[in-house]
Structure 1
Amino acid sequence: MATPCPLLPTCNIVTPIGMLGYGLDESITASLLAAVIPNGSPTALILDSGSTDSGPEKLALGQMTSPRTSYVRDLRKLIRLAWRFKVPLVFSSAGGDGSDEHVEEMVNVLKEICDEEGNEHYKLKLIAIYSAVTKTFVHERLKKHAISGCGSQVPPLTAELIDSAPRIASQMGPEPFYDAMMATPDFNVIVGGRAYDPSPYIAFAAWASKTSLNDTATPEAKSLWGGFTHMGKILECGGLCATPKCSAVRATVYQDGTFDLTPGEPQSRCTPVSVSAHTLYEKSRPDLLYGPGGWLDLTKSSYESLDDGRTCRVRGGCFTFSRDAGQKYTVKLEAARVVGYRSNYMGSVKDPILISQLDSVLKAIKTYVAQQHEGVDGQWDLDWHVYGQHQTTADGRPAEVFLIGEALASTQELARSIASTARIATVHAPYPNQKATSGNLAYGLGGKMESDLGPCAQFSIYHLVQLEEGEERLKLGTDSNALYRQELTVIGRGHSQPAISDPPYSKKEEHGQTPPLLETSIGGAHYPTSPKTLGDIARVLRSKNAGPYEITFDVMFATQPVFQLVKSSGCLNAAVIAGLNGISKDQVIWSGFFDQALAYKATIPRLWRGNPTPNGGFMESDVHGSQRYIGLLNLPLSKAFLVEWSDLVAKRRVDSGV
């Protein structure tokens, strides 16, 4: 039998945290760098800085995801690490939205850090990549019918939506990062505009391995690009792929696209289940993942634990470039606009007589507010967040109900008037059998009657645009019509880098002498003898945004027998998801099992008043969608399932000799 060829590393990537600005551990990141640099392959610090998860305010109002001081704190650490270990630093979607102004802001932050006392030795070659697109470009593509919604829930794009957007970002692919690295191979820092989250990872892996963007069509090339993309898709969330989840993670990528993942925190492990499970995270479906210029197919992906008990080896991803399939290259456009102004009031209700008829009272209040604003110029809306309704105390009495009345109007003054009128009506509204005539609502939290919340933003563009050949590439000249452009500058006053100093960790940590955490065996997972709900048998049960217009659910199991029992029982399917969420079965966007992760996944549209709506707008109460899983958590297990469960438990006892 022929001896298999050894895996040869082509690059290493360390991600210290899943989002720049969230805080990172400098010593753990240093340990990860020190662990991979000895293999002699190019190494980089790469991380993401953007997301639509936190809502539309960044794009609509020009805000950053984190305070500027948080970016200064994190970049100060990262530059220190990059300088010390002589590795480049790359991050994308600067400031959260990746707008041109936030790219410039991050460049200014880096300049300030270099000018700080004690940093006189820094001298960095910095590349800023800009990805904003002009309204003229978007209008032209709209007229050519080259724009479509990114998902079935996204409404068609209109000229009015284009014109009303303060800024339009495009999620660039890996090509601009790759082109920048090729043009300036001795770069120290790349600050990227809005990008597909894996883009800088893919670009560095391709650049470091000398993989050409012209070599994409062969099976070997598709496997290689598949490995790069899969690696980037996992690393962009940092140590979320570990169990327990942590902040930092490192990857070593090999010449065939295989890659190894190791978490930074010593108590965490990257296991086949934890890594494959991350494939589901924030995505509409787990098997085919679409991005700029093509799609990643993970149906044949495989995951293997290595001997250290903490590292997972991944292979089998396949990336198909759009052009190789005879399709246009597409990128996602993102924009948001202000749709009005918000005010709110809040308080609680304890009276059981009022609680029993709260819905009809709130309906009457909205009618009263409308009567009081007849003939008033401007548009408005009013609704309530109601918490605790239909719940009872330990002795069976109605529990306290908390109300937040939210007003949206065309002006802040009108929104305040709507909220104030609604609050007064809530306090004094009569209702049948009323006994407490001095007031219905306990209010005044923080000394406020009403609070002005300022502009209300809403995603207005979340669409795919077709590019002409070559438009996805970085233009290095002065072409004003280029989609993606760069600025190269040198910052700092230093002259040369010092040699690498001794890493700040003990030899014990370096050689991994801490006893490894062993992966749980099939028989080692513990379950209740008589489970009642899905939450009793699921290892992970979560919900999350899959873009602004969708909510996705992931249910994962610790062992193969339990997963197979759930899969064969029919207790999880599109009809169940529809029933739990009050929608029809045909509204479920995706439903299915993903064997590699021992998981079930389903995706539904975000709806408000029965209509598709993006996250973060009027009446938003869960911008991440992270608390939508409770119905699944409490889903009763069927009698038929419990019979099979009992048989499984009995068989396990026989097999173990109990």
Structure 2
Amino acid sequence: MSFATKNKDELRIFTPIGQLGQGFNEDIFWETVESGVDAIIADGGSTDSGPGRLGLGLPNVPWSRLGRDLETFAKAAHLYRIPSLIGSIGGDGENAHVDKAAEIISEAVQKNGYRPLKVIKIYAEISKDLVRQKLADGLISPCGGGVPDLTEDEIATSTRIVAQMGLEPYLKAMRENPDFDIIIGGRAYDPAPYAAFCLFHGFEDLGNNYAMGKIMECGAQCSIPKSKEGLAIARRDSFDIIPLDPKSKCTTVSVASHFLYEKTRPDILHGPGGALHLAQTTYEQLDDRSVRVRDAKFVPEAEGAYTVKLEGARVNGYHTIFLGALRDPILLQQLEPWIEKIRAYVDERLDGLGFKYDLKINKYGVNGVMGPLEPDHSIGKEVFIAGQARGETQDQADQVAGIAKFAFTHAPYAGQLATAGNFAWPFSPCEIPMGPLPEFCIYHIMHNVDPIVLFPIAVVDAPGDNSYVHQARVPKLATVKSASDTKVKKLESSKKYCLTPEPAAGTCYLADVASVLRSKNSGPYELTFDVMFPNMKVYNKVKETGLLTRDTICKLYSVSDEKVIASLFFDQAMAYKATIARPAVSGGFGETDTHGSQQHIPLMYLTLPFGRK
């Protein structure tokens, strides 16, 4: 049997969390399930945390936490016959993670005495031989402006390669197994399970389906304040977004602005088999908490030209880190030449040992967060040092880090008064072996593929004796807060923090008038910036200055014009968007900001030719 009839006028789709394994409110979960939903859908993966998951085969959260969420989904399937669809399980969506999740569900069924559940596994790893053949045929291209061409060495050295599946494997699995309980997908395009479930039930507008999925895959992050649990009501020509945390609400701007989040550009979003076009999309405020979205368009690729994204990572040596801080003002006045002397000292000590190494010193407090993008190199009263050594073996990395840390502690400098030591470190031992060093090596588009054959499907019948005795849930009582508590929170939320130094008279900073100003990775090779405004008056006033341009981004971040991948205004969200090529691949050796979320500061201080008021 299917769980929702194909002649339904609407589907209620529940996402309890934007990333599976991070936990959600159990009361909201069960209240929502008990009220009636057609599916629970959750995304489990991302490249945000860097290459470690894919390169080393690790889940993005401990299996104990993933298991807790999976067991909750299994219980919902047992009690209410609500199906669950999961994408990119374990973070990277590799085959081993798909199998592990299926095992957890099977064990939960047996342990708790649930009814037998039908679990479907969809695998996303692909063979290196296929990638090699596609490369030889000229059918692989970089995914984004900052990605280099793929090489044979990168294919050979990758630990595994996953392809990002679209909706087709999910749709096939449901059509062949309409009585399924849980689908566990490997690496998947984030909105693919949502679009597939809608299409399975006769909702054929892929623009509508994909747009709903693009918002819902983050749960209720599009709400104000952002929250976890979200509900979508999908219809044939529109969908509604509703946050389930009573403290949160959605607005037309908060929903529209979510299409900017971690994307190269907000108006055209590329994915497997086509692109989602949002330039004509409309947003309607239904009440004080929910928004209706219409007119998103999906433009498919030409027949036979289907594309998928490939992701791969490899191990490039071993690394050891050391952490500490420098506070002596005499030393900080000569910091750069002193560090160069330490590098020379390390070279001298290792000369003749016959191995290659790398040593990276990140100086947080100078240019540690932004690295080469940092426009301000002034030094504060203390500097945090994050040293990273790389060698072909762990022992080699340990040697390099140990020598460097010793030098940081005892290397002399002109005018030195503090002869006992220079370096304050918080942990012992200070040198911390980190093991294999992963790095992204594949982030490419593979052309002319079969969207179904590439992703094998396996069915697991999880046996259960159906002996579970359900006990009615007792909801937790909401905490009653006094009026004084509410007043304090209101005052805190309305407090305006002033930037220093203050802008010149008759001017203001961009941060003074923006409602949101953020940076974020858009995949491992791009860095994207979003600037949003509280109303059309402010938005148009800033827009009319002509200061938010490609040229401004080049100057603020010291990048050339060809490194600016996107620069545009997005009227629906009252926002400006810019995207640049990352100076280094996310999470690689010498990384300063893997998430890319602290690169927005130069934009904050962009001076506008009018006062804040």
TM-score, length-normalised on structure 2?
0.89
Matched, 1:408 2:403: no
**How far apart are the structure 2 equivalents of 1:200 and 1:96?**
16
Contact 1:8 1:255 in 2 (8 A): no
1:181-580 equivalences under 5 Å are 181-209=174-202, 211=204, 224-256=205-237, 258-307=238-287, 309-323=288-302, 328-389=305-366, 399-443=381-425, 445-468=426-449, 471-473=450-452, 482-494=453-465, 532-580=508-556
User: 3-state SS of the aligned residue for 1:180?
Assistant: helix
- After the TM superposition, list the runs of 4 or more consecutive aligned residues in structure 1 that deviate by more than 4 angstroms: 34-37, 495-499, 501-506, 524-531
**How far apart are the structure 1 equivalents of 2:507 and 2:8?**
48
Contact 2:304 2:448 in 1 (8 A): no
User: 3-state SS of the aligned residue for 2:135?
Assistant: helix
Shift of 1:149: 0.9
**How far apart are the structure 1 equivalents of 2:380 and 2:582?**
30
Contact 2:175 2:200 in 1 (8 A): yes
Letter in 1 for 2:318: Y
Contact 1:146 1:466 in 2 (8 A): yes
Instruction: Provide the aligned C-alpha RMSD in A.
Output: 2.6
**How far apart are the structure 2 equivalents of 1:496 and 1:181?**
27
**How far apart are the structure 1 equivalents of 2:56 and 2:384?**
30
1:179 aligned to 172, 187, 193, which one? Answer: 172
Matched, 1:26 2:26: yes
Which residue of 2 is the match for residue 122 of structure 1? 115
Letter in 1 for 2:424: A
Shift of 1:558: 1.2
Which sits farther off after the overlay, 76-85 or 532-541? 76-85
Shift of 1:495: 5.3
Deviations 1:439-465 (A, max 9, x none): 22223x222231111111000111111
Letter in 2 for 1:285: R
Letter in 1 for 2:251: T
Matched, 1:44 2:20: no
Shift of 1:579: 2.0
User: 3-state SS of the aligned residue for 2:220?
Assistant: helix
1:65-80 equivalences under 5 Å are 65-80=60-75
**How far apart are the structure 1 equivalents of 2:223 and 2:123?**
33
1:602-617 equivalences under 5 Å are 602-607=578-583, 613-617=584-588
Contact 2:326 2:382 in 1 (8 A): yes
**How far apart are the structure 1 equivalents of 2:126 and 2:358?**
33
1:352 to 1:495, Cα distance in 2 relative to 1, 3 A: closer
Contact 1:106 1:191 in 2 (8 A): yes
Deviations 1:332-369 (A, max 9, x none): 11110001111122222222111001011111211221
Deviations 1:508-544 (A, max 9, x none): 9xxxxxxxxxxxxxxx999999773221211111111
Contact 1:11 1:209 in 2 (8 A): no
Shift of 1:498: 10
Which residue of 1 is the match for residue 163 of structure 2? 170
**How far apart are the structure 1 equivalents of 2:388 and 2:329?**
23
User: 3-state SS of the aligned residue for 2:508?
Assistant: coil
**How far apart are the structure 2 equivalents of 1:237 and 1:616?**
22
Contact 2:366 2:379 in 1 (8 A): no
Note the residue ranges of structure 1 that are not aligned, 5 or more in a row: 1-6, 38-42, 212-223, 474-481, 509-523, 608-612, 650-658
Deviations 1:156-205 (A, max 9, x none): 11111111112110001100000110111111110111111111001001
Which residue of 2 is the match for residue 513 of structure 1? none
User: 3-state SS of the aligned residue for 1:168?
Assistant: strand
Matched, 1:597 2:573: yes
1:97 aligned to 78, 92, 96, which one? Answer: 92
Letter in 2 for 1:120: G
**How far apart are the structure 2 equivalents of 1:449 and 1:243?**
42
Deviations 1:261-300 (A, max 9, x none): 1001001111101100100001000000000000000000
Letter in 1 for 2:355: G
**How far apart are the structure 1 equivalents of 2:289 and 2:475?**
18
Letter in 2 for 1:619: G
User: 3-state SS of the aligned residue for 2:427?
Assistant: helix
Contact 2:262 2:528 in 1 (8 A): yes
Contact 1:120 1:492 in 2 (8 A): no
Number of residue-to-residue matches in the alignment: 577
Letter in 2 for 1:13: I
**How far apart are the structure 2 equivalents of 1:503 and 1:204?**
29
Letter in 1 for 2:590: M
**How far apart are the structure 2 equivalents of 1:462 and 1:397?**
37
Letter in 2 for 1:14: F
